[in-house]
Chains A and B, each alone.
Chain A
């Protein structure tokens, strides 16, 4: 397993946001995290890239493992090198507005990996080509559409060659007609064997690309399994209810793609 999370908990004061999460993600697989808002999905991602430090538990990516307990924090250096194994695409893309698309993608290579400018720019250009934005490399974020911005965000997240890519509701802030192009790029990544963990409400996308679906509620994982299990034969009323309310179409899709309901 590429990623394994054990007994992971996150508390803000008295509020428990994540409760004893156990999760494993295999190399080259796609894990989709679904669940009602406020269920801790985004916090889980933030704990994997250590933008939030877990209160308790352990996370392992590859052969690097970090243990967390109340009162002991890993050092800054350990956090930075662990974080570099992850790449993150945010809901609001958070592109750097004072840099061109190319500079956005090249920044990590220059600032962290100390590449020279020419090499960093060449690699950034190749990544932008890959997400179909080779022609937009010298544009500033405000000159790009929301979908293009998010694709630059994906190229930026991939620039550091992370072992795992995290997506935090990558299409939730987009106009409906721009969602498709972003999902298309993500689908391409799943085909290339890149390991993805995606928080999303796009159930149709989820049922097509997921190797594993995780349903979260109130800070805990209620159930996880293949898309056929979670979408096709939900064991919990809560999940059935959630799927029905969110997109009645998703279950039909599961049916259409060979899953029996």
Chain B
């Protein structure tokens, strides 16, 4: 490799570090956190509906999970961003991404929540009821705290997946971590270099998340079920 080439590579790298970091801080992280938070809240209601004995709650919830899980997030995102304007609904790119990621996150997480609620032994419900506790109190005080602990490892995985999926934002013009790399790659004609750099960013951040996930699991593992 010539001296010139190496210098050019180093220059592009040093020029890209900041824009990529900016994309991460301004878009990738907020998009991931917002969609995850909204997704979890929404997921709890979807999970409760799919566990309901009432079919007018259960059926829509099951249909929702089925449709969202069986279609690509990219298709959902393009429907919102490119499809809805045809019906007069014009959403910003940021909002479009947050909505589509929230919707898909809710479908996956609701299945995790549903399964963990179902995994709590029936005796726990009985013990609560035997104290005279109502169904909703029993759920909030006895069942949910146990179910949440079971969910934590899976939620960790979900968040790491979501963090990477947020790169779809680049396809609706957002200069997030991946979007920033894509823009610089286009202007410098150095796709290999920029996408490698973006990959290293994702690798580093997701490694941090993995470590955090491990710690959280340890802290919540105080008791055995």
Q: Which residues of A are interface residues toward B (Cβ below 8 A)?
A: 49, 51, 76, 80-81, 83-84, 86-88, 90, 92, 94-98, 107-108, 111-112, 140-142, 156-157, 159-160
Contacts and interface: CB of A to CB of B under 8 A. Distances in A.
A245 B137 CA distance: 45
A46 B133 CA distance: 16
Contacts of B129: 51, 83
Contacts of A157: 130
A235 to B, nearest CB: 35
B131 interface: yes
A75 B37 CA distance: 37
Contacts of B121: 94
B189 interface: no
Interface residues of B, number: 23
Interface stretch (B50-58, B76-84, B91-99, B141-149): B141-149
B225 A51 contact: no
Given A92-B123, A96-B124, A97-B146, A112 B133 contact: yes
Interface string B117-146: 000010110111111111101000110011
A94 B137 CA distance: 17
A84 B134 CA distance: 11
A107 B131 CA distance: 8
Contact of B130 (A76, A83, A95, A111): A83
Contact of B142 (A49, A86, A96, A141): A96
A112 B132 CA distance: 7
Contacts of A87: 130-131
Contacts of A83: 129-130, 132
The residue among A107, A112, A142 with the most chain B CB atoms within 10 A of its own CB is: A107
Nearest to B137: A111
